[in-house]
Structure 1
Amino acid sequence: MTLPATAPLFADLPGDISVSFEFFPPKSEKMEEQLWDAITQLAPLQPSFVSVTYGAGGSTRERTHATVARIVRETSLVPAAHLTCVSASKAEIAEVADQYWEAGVRHLVALRGDPPPADGGTFVPHPQGYTCAADLVAGLMARHDFDISVAAYPEVHPEAASAQSDLDNLKRKLDAGANRAITQFFFSTDAYFRFLDKALAAGISAPILPGIMPVTSFAAIRRMSANTEIPAWMEAMFEGLDDRPGPRALVSAVAAADLCRRLYAGGVRDFHFYTLNKAEQAYAICHLLGLRPKG
Structure 2
Amino acid sequence: MTFFNRRYQETLEKKLISNYKVNHCSFEFFPPKNILEEEKLWTSISKLSTLKPTFFSVTYGANSGERKKTYNIVKKIYKNTGIVSVPHMTCVDASPIELQKIAEKYWCSGLKSILALRGDAPHKNYIHDMYAVDLVKLLKKIADFDISVAAYPEVHPESKNYILDIINLKKKVDAGANRAITQFFFNIDSYLRFRDNCVQHGINIEIIPGILPISNFQQLQRFSALTNVKIPSWIFHMFDCLEKDFMTQEVIGSVIAVEMVKKLLGEGVKNFHFYTLNKHKVVYSICYMLGL
TM-score, normalization by structure 2: 0.90
CA contact under 8 A between 2:137 and 2:176: conserved in structure 1? yes
The alpha carbon displacement at 1:12 in A equals 8.2
Q: What is aligned with 1:273? A: 274
Mapping of 1:49-128 within 5 angstroms? Answer: 49-57=55-63, 60-116=66-122, 120-126=123-129
Q: What is aligned with 1:152? A: 151
Higher helix share: 2
**How has the CA–CA distance of structure 1 residues 238 and 270 changed in structure 2, closer, same or farther, with 3 Å as cutoff?**
same
Q: What is aligned with 1:190? A: 189
CA contact under 8 A between 1:20 and 1:271: conserved in structure 2? yes
**How has the CA–CA distance of structure 1 residues 285 and 35 changed in structure 2, closer, same or farther, with 3 Å as cutoff?**
same
State how far apart, in whole Å, the 2-side matches of 1:190 and 1:253 are. 20
5+ residue gaps, structure 1, are 1-6
State how far apart, in whole Å, the 2-side matches of 1:196 and 1:123 are. 31
State how far apart, in whole Å, the 2-side matches of 1:16 and 1:81 are. 24
Larger radius of gyration: 2
CA contact under 8 A between 2:20 and 2:262: conserved in structure 1? no
5+ residue gaps, structure 2, are 1-12
State how far apart, in whole Å, the 2-side matches of 1:133 and 1:243 are. 39
Question: What letter is aligned with 1:157?
Answer: H
SS at match of 1:110: strand
Q: What is aligned with 1:222? A: 221
State how far apart, in whole Å, the 2-side matches of 1:195 and 1:52 are. 25
Q: What is aligned with 2:237? A: 236
CA contact under 8 A between 1:58 and 1:84: conserved in structure 2? no
**How has the CA–CA distance of structure 1 residues 228 and 52 changed in structure 2, closer, same or farther, with 3 Å as cutoff?**
same
Q: Does 1:171 align with 2:175?
A: no
State how far apart, in whole Å, the 1-side matches of 2:66 and 2:251 are. 31
Q: What is aligned with 2:10? A: none
State how far apart, in whole Å, the 2-side matches of 1:67 and 1:60 are. 11
State how far apart, in whole Å, the 1-side matches of 2:92 and 2:125 are. 11
State how far apart, in whole Å, the 1-side matches of 2:289 and 2:245 are. 23
CA contact under 8 A between 1:72 and 1:104: conserved in structure 2? no
The alpha carbon displacement at 1:58 in A equals 5.0
Q: What is aligned with 1:249? A: 250
The alpha carbon displacement at 1:56 in A equals 3.3
Q: How many residues are aligned here?
A: 276
Question: What letter is aligned with 2:50?
Answer: P
CA contact under 8 A between 2:186 and 2:232: conserved in structure 1? yes
CA contact under 8 A between 1:19 and 1:270: conserved in structure 2? yes
Q: What is aligned with 2:142? A: 143
State how far apart, in whole Å, the 2-side matches of 1:162 and 1:61 are. 32
